[in-house]
Amino acid sequence: MTKQKLTIAVTGLNNTDNPGPGIPVIRGILDSNDFEAKIIGLAYENLEPGIYMDNIVDKVYSVPYPSTGTDTLIKRIEYINSKEKINVLIPNFDAELYSFMRADTQLKQMGIHTFLPTLKSFEERHKSNLDKFGKKYGVKVPKSISVLNINDIYKITSELNFPLLVKGRFYDAYVCYNNEQVITNFNKLSSKWGVPVIIQEFVKGTEVNVVALGDGKGNTIGAVPMRKQYITDKGKAWGGITIDDNQMLKITKDIIKKTKWRGGMELEMIKTNNSEYFLIEINPRIPAWVYLAVGAGQNLPEALVKLALGQKVEPYQKYDVGKMFVRYSYDIIMDMTKFKQLSTLGETN
């Protein structure tokens, strides 16, 4: 059987202690038996480790931060596409999704396919909207309050019990035990990600996660639940194991059905000692631990590419329980050629 040849552009090459999803997404794509992919890496910084993984990425281009504006970003994509003829583009950061969703028509005109959530779905699952989301879709969520002004913190914290979670608009979360810690972390997160900063009720229990893929019509193409076994100081899973949890899968499929979610997603939940599930966050893209799902029998990156191209994809019916992943650091030794090329030309040869 002849494999379909595709050029696929991927962001999120920062495979560090706070890893982006790009490298595991690429690994899933390269595992496909149905297509042969040329991988174009899109890098925001010149020291993202994925740039230098020759067996993973074929060519790399620097791209401007989304904060520079959608037009600037898309002009750069237009240039890259003129040289590479991209078939599918997979953005992997929350902060860049808005720009790519807004530019959907322009990308299609270039012949570039994506498979992203709608703007409506993206907005209503925001951390700042989680209370409304829970009520609308019948999901238990911790009480969450958006904070725009530091002067409101004492009033808000008087309504909740310590400890509390203080969360950034896009990333990062800190457990706080008093108002001074809340204020410190509010300043840290608002300066990094902007406002609102979210103050959330702390729910005791075990953190569990699900990676899933929706087809945009209410169907779940795949879903794999995982329990973190080792967590870094940044709250990232450095090890995890697939688990058998029908209730988690039921919640996931119900959310995808009601929202008609389109694309990858990660549900972060807390399972209490009473076996209640509280949804604490929805990440609107494939998470960095997605290769565990691939190893467990559900190649969600491959399925996402097929969906982006309009191909029929049959839902996965099972996954292997008890599959583990463990991350590790690895030193890549090379000369400075690629670094110089990106720094001066904005692309590698």
Per-domain boundaries in the chain: 4-115+331-345, 143-201, 204-326
| b/e map 20-55, b = 16+ CB within 10 Å | bbbbbbbbbbbebeebebbbbbbbbeeebbbbbbee
Answer CATH for 204-326 from 3.30.470.20, 3.40.50.10610, 3.40.1080.10, 3.40.30.10 = 3.30.470.20
Segment-wise mean pLDDT, segments of 10 residues, the chain, 349 residues: 93 88 97 97 96 94 94 97 98 94 96 97 90 94 88 84 88 88 93 89 93 98 95 80 97 98 97 94 96 98 98 97 94 93 95
> If you ran DSSP here, which 8-state letter would residue 24 be given?
H
What is the model's pLDDT at position 305? 98
Residue 200 to residue 315: CA distance in whole angstroms: 34
Residue 279 to residue 268: CA distance in whole angstroms: 6
**Residue 133 in 3-state DSSP?**
helix
Q: What tokens does 272 get? A: 């209490």
99 with 66: CB under 8 angstroms? Answer: yes
Q: What tokens does 60 get? A: 């790399």
What is the model's pLDDT at position 171? 76
Q: Which amino acid makes up residue 16?
A: T
Query: For the domain bounded by 143-201, which CATH number is listed?
Result: 3.30.1490.20
What is the model's pLDDT at position 231? 79
Q: What is the pTM of this model?
A: 0.91
What is the model's pLDDT at position 238? 86
CATH architecture observed for domain 4-115+331-345? 3-Layer(aba) Sandwich (3.40)
The number of residues in the chain equals: 349
